[in-house]
């Protein structure tokens, strides 16, 4: 980045004169604009630069209000905000959308055509520079719209950042909070990294709560987000990371997100899922992770991504080693949906949907469904593992995909499968649609346990090793004879892609537990397993004494337990408790509900102002939350103690009316 010495000299001189001639403003609100209304304000400034200089000489927490009476066009390079530390220069708010000085706020201020980065926030001699940008639209900058470094702490509140050379960046320990009302779209240039967000450096942090859409890095990596080298990016629940769904590729690696060495991504979908969709890239169209980069995806949807004939339409993992998982995909209890909380769906496969090379990938409690192969291929795969890589699948619904191989290992690749259902997947062989294979090409290891494989052509083992126990198959192929039973499971409504088993399916109570350390005792619906329905006491088919169901879903038709909730204390009638992850409890009103055995129920209290809640009968009751697993009838008590706030009480002690 070039430095304009003349401009810096001018700004320093202006600041010196300003400090000599002006006493600190008492109001700490500066207006920017040239109009008769602005002439009446002692704190009005003709330009944003002069307002920043004024705010820099006070110790107050200042605000600059941008009016439509000033044209914010063609700013030369950066508008830089340095050392706005509370108690020193004070934190700073830069807020746009004011029609004139003294008017109310409406809309956004438009700032365009900066030759470099539009805004830069940094530190020099202080440890912090705290700046909030609010109600601003930034377009057509020659650099990043927002550039932060060092101890910068920046909040983006109701910003629209579009059509710039690149979006925002965090360097060397900076923190950016991108709020839910902020949109970063259509930014990027050829050969660059992170068209939407670029983040690098130890302790750098970006919290994404808003939306990134159609940002790109053609010829580079990370169309919407690129992170590396000590940066941590968190995607909050409800966030949308979206491409334009158009080929050719909008990035070489990571059309949506590229996590390079040292970067960490946390997709933190809760009751509202994170969505990564409609990206195109040569490899890793949705997500690309390499080296010591890490990614955890909770309650995340990866859909509609296209790998353009390459590998990893949804996920690409490479060179992370196997000491720990490079990528973890999982459903957590906060999602209110039954089946589609962690969802890899409707992607367009070049050679593979999930690609693993010299890395370890864990996928739990997820749906892999309705992806299609881009071209005729005898070797396309949903999960392809090569070069000593390893993929571990636990409680997965793999159904209705168009792909030649459901699973595929090459060389020293390894795939471990437990509690997984593979059904109704079709492949392409010489242009004709047929059932998919499970393929081992030139070596590899597959270990299947407690799983169901129907509507397949069985295992196509060309030179690898297949082991396992207690699987139900329709066509065994090259599976070891002791590892499977031939029978037909009964699904609830397969015509509507509901591949949960009915209580009388032969796959219920079929197996004893697996022996994998990474496995766990909750199924895809986050229900506790096993439940012994007593439908297969002899283990026929299956293992003698088995009470675990084969496949991703544990049958819960028997038994059912009742959760009864009572509210007590002086705040009981004006407080509320609901079940936050499943339907049923909304108390007062509906305070009792039947739930299937093993289901985890989260109760959320909303005490009236002035009251706190205490719990009795919970497995875990902390603050306003109570969690209980339904393995028997449960009686839960929520006691609300305290008193109404003074504003809600008349002097005679009665609650205030309207």
Measured CA to CA, the distance from residue 402 to residue 173 in angstroms comes to 45
| Tens of pLDDT, residues 124-140 | 999 999 999 999 999 99
Is 235 in a helix, a strand, or coil?
A: strand
Q: Which residues contact 371 (CB under 8 A, 6 or more apart)?
A: 313, 314, 344, 345, 346, 347, 348, 349, 353, 382, 401, 402, 403
User: In 3D, which of 477, 339, 501, 470 has the Cα closest to residue 406?
Assistant: 477
User: In 3D, which of 242, 192, 190 has the Cα closest to residue 215?
Assistant: 242
Q: At what angle do helices 5-21 and 48-56 cross, to 10 degrees?
A: 60
Q: Strand 498-501 vs strand 491-493: parallel, antiparallel, or unpaired? A: antiparallel
Half-sphere exposure of 493 (CA within 13 A, CB side): 2
Q: Note whether 396 and 552 are within 8 A (CB).
A: yes
Measured CA to CA, the distance from residue 388 to residue 409 in angstroms comes to 10
Q: Note whether 628 and 636 are within 8 A (CB).
A: yes
Tokens coding 498:
């509901």
Confidence at residue 594, expressed as pLDDT on a 0 to 100 scale = 82
Confidence at residue 536, expressed as pLDDT on a 0 to 100 scale = 73
**E strands present in 88-196:** 92-98, 109-112, 119-122, 129-139, 144-149, 152-162, 166-171, 175-178, 183-185
Measured CA to CA, the distance from residue 385 to residue 329 in angstroms comes to 16
Residue 521, φ and ψ in degrees, nearest 5: -100, 25
Residue 390 C-alpha from the chain's centroid: 23
Q: Note whether 319 and 357 are within 8 A (CB).
A: yes
Confidence at residue 503, expressed as pLDDT on a 0 to 100 scale = 85
Give the DSSP H/E element, type plus range, for residue 356: strand 352-369
Q: Is 63 exposed, middle or buried (0-12, 13-18, 19+ CB in 10 A)?
A: buried
- Could you tell me what percent of the chain has a pLDDT over 90? 72
**Which residue reads 């699987």 in tokens?**
471
| Tens of pLDDT, residues 199-220 | 999 999 999 999 999 999 999 9
**Which residue reads 């805004």 in tokens?**
119
Residue 183, φ and ψ in degrees, nearest 5: -125, 130
pTM as predicted: 0.85
Q: How many helices (H) and strands (E) does the chain have?
A: 3, 58
Is 4 in a helix, a strand, or coil?
A: coil
Residue 636, φ and ψ in degrees, nearest 5: -115, 140
Confidence at residue 21, expressed as pLDDT on a 0 to 100 scale = 39
Q: Exposed e or buried b for every residue in 168-184, given b needs 16+ CB within 10 A?
A: bbbbbbbbbbbbeebbb
Q: Strand 625-629 vs strand 600-606: parallel, antiparallel, or unpaired? A: antiparallel
- Residue spans of the chain under pLDDT 50: 1-27, 648-658
The C-alpha angle with vertex 105 and arms to 139 and 175, in degrees rounded to 5, equals 55
Confidence at residue 156, expressed as pLDDT on a 0 to 100 scale = 98
Confidence at residue 23, expressed as pLDDT on a 0 to 100 scale = 39
């Amino acid at each position: 980045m070039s430095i304009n010495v003349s401009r810096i000299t001018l700004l320093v001189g202006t600041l010196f004169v300003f400090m000599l001639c002006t006493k600190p403003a008492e109001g700490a609100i500066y207006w920017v604009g040239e109009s008769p209304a602005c002439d009446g304000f002692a704190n009005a400034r003709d330009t944003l630069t002069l307002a920043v200089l004024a705010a820099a000489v006070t110790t107050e927490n200042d605000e600059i209000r941008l009016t439509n009476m000033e044209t914010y066009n063609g700013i030369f390079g950066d508008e830089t905000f340095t050392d706005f530390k509370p108690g020193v220069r004070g934190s700073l708010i830069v807020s746009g959308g004011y029609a004139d000085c003294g008017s109310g706020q409406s809309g956004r201020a438009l700032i365009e055509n900066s030759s470099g980065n539009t805004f830069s926030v940094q530190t020099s001699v202080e440890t912090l520079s705290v700046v909030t940008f609010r109600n601003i639209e930034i377009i057509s900058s020659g650099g990043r719209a927002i550039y932060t470094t060092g101890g910068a702490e920046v909040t983006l509140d109701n910003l629209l950042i579009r059509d710039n050379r690149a979006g925002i960046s965090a360097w060397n320990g900076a923190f950016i909070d991108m709020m839910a009302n902020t949109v970063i779209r259509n930014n990027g240039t050829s050969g660059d990294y992170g068209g939407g967000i670029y983040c690098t450096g130890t302790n750098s942090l970006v919290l994404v709560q808003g939306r990134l859409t159609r940002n790109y890095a053609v010829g580079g990596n990370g169309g919407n987000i690129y992170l590396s080298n000590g940066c941590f990016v968190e995607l909050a629940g409800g966030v949308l990371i979206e491409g334009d769904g158009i080929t050719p590729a909008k990035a070489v690696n990571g059309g949506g997100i590229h996590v390079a060495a040292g970067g960490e991504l946390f997709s933190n979908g809760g009751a509202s899922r994170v969505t990564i969709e409609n990206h195109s890239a040569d490899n890793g169209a949705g997500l690309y992770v390499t080296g010591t980069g890490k990614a955890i995806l909770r309650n995340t949807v990866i859909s509609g991504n296209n790998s353009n004939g390459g590998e990893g339409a949804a996920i690409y993992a490479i060179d992370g080693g196997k000491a720990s998982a490079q990528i973890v995909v999982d459903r957590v209890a906060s999602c209110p949906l039954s089946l589609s909380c962690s969802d890899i769906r409707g992607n367009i496969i070049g050679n593979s949907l999930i690609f693993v090379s010299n890395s370890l990938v864990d996928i739990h409690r997820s749906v892999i469904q309705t992806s299609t192969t881009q071209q005729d291929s005898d070797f396309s795969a949903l999960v392809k593992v090569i070069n000593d890589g390893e993929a571990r699948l636990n409680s997965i619904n793999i159904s209705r995909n168009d792909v030649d191989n459901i699973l595929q290992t090459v060389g020293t690749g390894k795939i471990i499968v437990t509690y997984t259902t593979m059904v109704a997947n079709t492949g392409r062989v010489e242009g004709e649609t047929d059932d998919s294979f499970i393929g081992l090409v030139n070596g590899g290891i597959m270990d299947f346990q407690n799983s169901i494989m129907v509507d397949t052509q069985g295992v196509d083992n060309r030179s690898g090793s297949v082991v396992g126990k207690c699987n139900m198959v329709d066509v065994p192929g090259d599976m070891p004879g002791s590892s499977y039973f031939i029978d037909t499971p009964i699904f609830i409504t397969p015509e509507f892609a509901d591949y949960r088993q009915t209580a009388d399916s032969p796959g219920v109570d079929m197996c004893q537990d697996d022996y994998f350390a990474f496995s766990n005792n909750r199924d895809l619906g986050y229900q506790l397993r096993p439940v012994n329905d007593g439908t297969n006491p002899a283990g026929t088919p299956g293992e003698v004494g088995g009470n675990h169901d084969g496949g991703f879903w544990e049958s819960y038709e028997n038994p059912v337990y009742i959760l009864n909730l009572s509210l007590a204390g002086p705040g009981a009638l004006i407080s509320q408790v609901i079940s936050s992850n499943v339907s049923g409890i909304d108390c007062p009103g509906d305070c009792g509900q039947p739930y299937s055995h093993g289901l985890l129920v989260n109760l959320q209290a909303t005490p009236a102002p002035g009251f706190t809640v205490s719990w009795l009968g919970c497995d875990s009751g902390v603050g306003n939350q109570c969690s209980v697993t339904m393995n028997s009838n449960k009686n839960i008590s929520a006691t609300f103690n305290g008193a109404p706030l003074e504003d809600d009480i008349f002097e005679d002690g009665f609650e205030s009316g309207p």
